[in-house]
Structure 1
Amino acid sequence: MKAPVGVILAGGLASRMGGGDKALRSLGGQTLLSRVIERISPQVADLCLNANGDAGRFDAYGLPVVADPLDGFPGPLAGVLAGMDWAAAQGADTVVSVAADTPFLPCDLVPVLQLASEGQAHPLVLAATEGDTETRSSKGRLIRHPTFGLWPVALRDDLRAALEGGLKKVVLWTEKHGGREAVFPDERAFFNVNTPEDLAEAERMI
């Protein structure tokens, strides 16, 4: 199966972290973004960063920066669409999205997503984990992680139209197109840093 390209989603407002670029916060002597790049770059053919505003603040990372194609911070799906548009320009068939605030993302994310997509007309898979008592979730219930997914470039115009029509929920769109879930065994791999308390917990985790 042809390797996808990747997009790191860093277009949010980081309001719970007090604003600014959450991805540039330091964790164990590296930025969150550096840790995400280290984990995802070996799994993809090429990589870009979805971020809004002055792209120059990310120059040190050597990645192309693509902004949301729609105004008003419409959510992570706009970042996925930005990645799909960029992937189309690279001649890629699929793009894998990851969040910029998840420093422990799975090192086998892409092959597991691709395996789950076998037989689909349009490869469309979201990462998921099973709930457990530690996270106060219903044991056995699938918890989707919709910023982590395999997306078909062929559906980018459909996604654009849905977003322009006001779509906010990722799952509503993926289910419409026969999306699947790829289940990963360790929910901690998708731990995301939203607050200063989360950053302190991530320090303990490393």
Structure 2
Amino acid sequence: MSISLDDIAGVILAGGMGRRMGGVDKGLRNFKNAPLALHAMMRLNGQVGDICINANRNIGVYEGFGVEVVCDVQPDYAGPLAGMQAALAHTNLPYLVTVPCDVPMFPLNLVEKLSAPFEKNVGLMLTVASTKGRHHPVFCMMRTELLPNMEEFLRKGGRKIDAWYANIPHEAVEFDDEAAFHNVNTLEELKELEQKS
């Protein structure tokens, strides 16, 4: 039986410090005349039943996108795992899909592919996108019952997503288009991607 869209929440992770972009809020940098986070939201729209944005500054601007904004519970910009924790605590749906704000061209069948293994494997807890055998840990789908496990990992000082899910039943899902997962770290990379697409 396939997983219903209404059972899947999505979060756009825009809670970082944007250090490599000079400390600006990366999710609000323009790409093709719209903020990066808005591009991510529009791509995720229709793939999930509910969307929120994880952000730690410019909250009012993100709320202007018309979705709920959740802030990290962890202090000091603890990274994408802290954003995932905030979204897990926020949603009451059984599944959560996470995407970063700085990958404006991720696949339109992302959730469809990430959800498929759950239908065959009842013990599966998490799926992660992969290209050529390389995992993209910020693109994952997880059961929301993983929240206590994640909270314990964060409490112990853990920060890396792949270190967190290493001991959880998970499966990598292969995608063909490696460029679709290219993230933008600098203003130069943002300009480059605009010219290419």
TM-score by length of 1: 0.89
Alpha-carbon distance in 1 for matches of 2:31, 2:163: 34
Alpha-carbon distance in 1 for matches of 2:21, 2:164: 29
Give the counterpart letter for 1:80 in structure 2: M
Aligned match of 1:126 in 125, 128, 138?
128
Q: How much has 1:30 moved relative to structure 2?
A: 1.7
Determine the structure 1 residue equivalent to 2:105.
104
Cα deviations across residues 122-162 of structure 1 (Å, max 9, x unaligned)?
430111101xxxxxxxxxxx111111100111110110011
Q: How much has 1:16 moved relative to structure 2?
A: 0.6
Whether the aligned pair in 1 keeps the contact of 2:126 and 2:141 (CA below 8 Å) is yes
Aligned-partner SS, 2:129: strand
Whether the aligned pair in 2 keeps the contact of 1:50 and 1:83 (CA below 8 Å) is yes
Alpha-carbon distance in 1 for matches of 2:150, 2:94: 15
Aligned match of 1:176 in 157, 167, 171?
167
Structure 1 unaligned blocks of 5 or more? 131-141
* Percent identity (aligned): 35
Alpha-carbon distance in 2 for matches of 1:116, 1:79: 24
Alpha-carbon distance in 2 for matches of 1:73, 1:121: 32
**Residues 117-196 of structure 1 correspond to what in structure 2 (within 5 A)?**
117=118, 118-130=120-132, 142-196=133-187
Whether the aligned pair in 2 keeps the contact of 1:122 and 1:154 (CA below 8 Å) is no
**Residues 20-169 of structure 1 correspond to what in structure 2 (within 5 A)?**
20-87=24-91, 91-117=92-118, 118-130=120-132, 142-169=133-160
Alpha-carbon distance in 1 for matches of 2:117, 2:189: 30
Provide the alpha-carbon RMSD of the alignment.
1.2
Whether the aligned pair in 2 keeps the contact of 1:84 and 1:151 (CA below 8 Å) is no
Determine whether 1:203 maps to 2:178: no
Whether the aligned pair in 2 keeps the contact of 1:113 and 1:126 (CA below 8 Å) is yes
Structure 1 residue ranges, 4+ long, deviating more than 6 angstroms after superposition: none
Q: How much has 1:64 moved relative to structure 2?
A: 0.5
Structure 2 unaligned blocks of 5 or more? none
Whether the aligned pair in 2 keeps the contact of 1:104 and 1:189 (CA below 8 Å) is yes
Q: How much has 1:196 moved relative to structure 2?
A: 1.2
Give the counterpart letter for 1:166 in structure 2: G
Aligned-partner SS, 1:167: coil
